[in-house]
Amino acid sequence: MAEMLNIDLTDEQKYFYRQNGFLSIPRITTGEEIDWLKTIYDKVFADRTGEEKGFFYDLAGPRGHDGRNELPQALGPDISIPELRESIYYKNAKRLSSQLLTLDQEVHVGGHMIYKPAKYGAETPWHQDEAYWDPEVFSNGLSVWMPLDSVMKESGCMQFIPGSHKGDVKWHRHIDDNPLVHGLVTDDVDPSEAIACPLPAGGATFHHTRTLHYTAPNTTDNPRRAYILVCSGPEEKRDKPAYRPWQDEERQAMKAAKIDVEYL
C-alpha cells in the first residue's frame, strides 16, 4: 500500500460537477488496493462488524429484524480498521473532494459500505443524502462512491438526476413507510431523467449532498461491493432547523421499540 496514485481533476470535470451535481472517473485507486479492500470488506460483512453499536444493519429492513438483510450496510468501518485511512482511495477521495468543494483545508471524512450480493438484494431507492443529515446546519459535502467490482445498471451502479443538487431537499419518507427502516425514499423524482454511471472496479463517482440518486437491485451473477466516503467541509449553523420530520419519526419509533444505537 506504499505506492500512491496521483490523479487530478480537469477544469472540465470540475465544471461538469458544478453543473450536474455528480462526476464519474474511471480510476481512484489501484487494482492491488482493490484486492486488499475486498478481503477487508468481506470480513466486515461476514462478522457484521459494529452491529452491537448499531453500526451494521439492514438499510431496507426494520432495525433489529433477524431475517435476511436486503441491503446490508456497515457504517464507519475505519473505526475498527484504521488502516483504511491510509489507503490510496481515502487519500485521493480527500484530495479530489476538496478540489470539488473548493476548500483549501482538509475535509472531514466518514465512511460506509453497502453490499448487494450476487442475484440478491433491494434497490437503494431515490433519495438525497442531505435528507439524512443534521437539519440544524447547511452542509457542505459530497460522497465518493467506489465499487470493488465492475458495475452496471443491472448490478447496482449509481444513477443520478443531473442538476437536482440545485434544488431544495425533497420530501422523504422511510422505505415501506416504516420509521424503523433507516432507508429513505422520495417520490418527487422523474426516473426517466436518470443518468447511469457504469464503472470498473476502482473507479468512482462523486455526488453532491442534494443530488438525487438511486441504485437498482443486483440481478447479476457477481457481487456489488461499494465503499463510500462522505467528505465534508465546515458546516454553517442555520437560524432555524430545516423541516425533516422523517428524522423525528425514526427517533420516536426507535425509542418506542427500545432500540438504542450510538448513531442514527
Ligand X SMILES: O=C(O)CCC(=O)C(=O)O
CB 88 within 8 A of CB 202: no
Is residue 143 within the footprint of ligand X (CB under 6 A)?
Answer: yes
Give 93 or 226: the residue with its C-beta nearer to ligand X. 226
**What is the distance in angstroms between the CA of the first residue and the CA of the last residue of the chain?**
33
Is residue 73 within the footprint of ligand X (CB under 6 A)?
Answer: no
> What is the helix (H) or strand (E) element at residue 45, kind and residue range?
helix 31-47
Q: Which of 50, 72, 156, 217 binds ligand X (CB under 6 A)?
A: 156
In angstroms, rounded to a whole number, what is the distance separating the alpha carbons of residues 215 and 227?
14
Give 174 or 213: the residue with its C-beta nearer to ligand X. 213
Contacts of 52 (CB under 8 A, 6+ apart): none
SS3 state of residue 174: strand
Give 195 or 256: the residue with its C-beta nearer to ligand X. 195
In angstroms, rounded to a whole number, what is the distance separating the alpha carbons of residues 213 and 162?
9
The one-letter amino acid code at 41 reads: Y
Nearest approach in angstroms of CB 76 to ligand X is 14
Is residue 115 within the footprint of ligand X (CB under 6 A)?
Answer: no
Count interface residues toward ligand X (CB under 6 A): 10
In angstroms, rounded to a whole number, what is the distance separating the alpha carbons of residues 189 and 201?
29
Is residue 129 within the footprint of ligand X (CB under 6 A)?
Answer: yes
Nearest approach in angstroms of CB 216 to ligand X is 9
Nearest approach in angstroms of CB 144 to ligand X is 8
CB 75 within 8 A of CB 56: yes
Is residue 208 within the footprint of ligand X (CB under 6 A)?
Answer: no
CB 143 within 8 A of CB 106: no
Is residue 114 within the footprint of ligand X (CB under 6 A)?
Answer: yes
Is residue 128 within the footprint of ligand X (CB under 6 A)?
Answer: no
The one-letter amino acid code at 27 reads: R
Give 92 or 143: the residue with its C-beta nearer to ligand X. 143
Cell of 75: 457504517
Is residue 229 within the footprint of ligand X (CB under 6 A)?
Answer: no
Give 52 or 176: the residue with its C-beta nearer to ligand X. 176
Is residue 217 within the footprint of ligand X (CB under 6 A)?
Answer: no
Binding positions for ligand X, rule: CB under 6 A? 114, 124, 129, 143, 145, 156, 213, 215, 226, 228
